[in-house]
Each structure stands twice: as structure tokens, then as C-alpha cells.
Amino acid sequence: MIRTFERVYITEDLTGTPYVKVDVGVVAHIYDNAKGYEIEFFAIDGTTLSVETVPASIVKSCEGIKSVPHILNKAA
């Protein structure tokens, strides 16, 4: 069960946003018995990029994942 403030990732590109499969965020709110989530997405430096409503069907917990997220667009 995914909880508020838990780190999660998305399993598909999030239409209408810059977020793509495996981007990581933190759950800010849980809707209607976990049918959807408000997820806060951050830059690597901790700056909040946005908060998006995401359906539960494309959200997975990061618990137990021991990998490093990749930076796709490096700053110059």
C-alpha cells in the first residue's frame, strides 16, 4: 500500500507533462481509496517542479529499489 510522503515512480509517460516512465516523485495526497495520487516531482537539487494528479494504475512504490535515477537533461 502506497502512503503519503512515500517515494514512487511512474510506469508510463504522463501525458501533457514533461514526466516520463520511471520518473520519481513523492506522494503528497491520496485520492478515494488510492484510485489516484497527487505526486510532487522534484529536480535533482530538490527544487519542486510541479505537483500532478496521477492515476494509481501507473504509480509504483520505490521501496526496496537500490538504483540511481538517471539524469536525462543535464544542465550546461
CATH of the domain at 54: 2.30.30
Q: How many domains does the chain have?
A: 1
Per-residue pLDDT reduced to its tens digit, 23-71: 999 999 999 989 999 999 999 889 999 999 999 999 999 999 998 877 7
Domain membership flag for residue 34: yes
Residue 28 Cα to chain centre, angstroms: 10
Domain membership flag for residue 26: yes
Alpha carbons within 13 angstroms on the beta-carbon side of residue 50 total 9
Q: How many residues does the chain have?
A: 76
Residue 71: per-residue pLDDT: 74
Domain membership flag for residue 66: no
Mean pLDDT check: name the lowest of 1-5, 9-13, 69-73: 69-73
Domain membership flag for residue 73: no
The domain in which residue 28 lies consists of 7-61
Q: Per-residue pLDDT for 17 more than 50? A: yes
Q: Per-residue pLDDT for 9 more than 60? A: yes
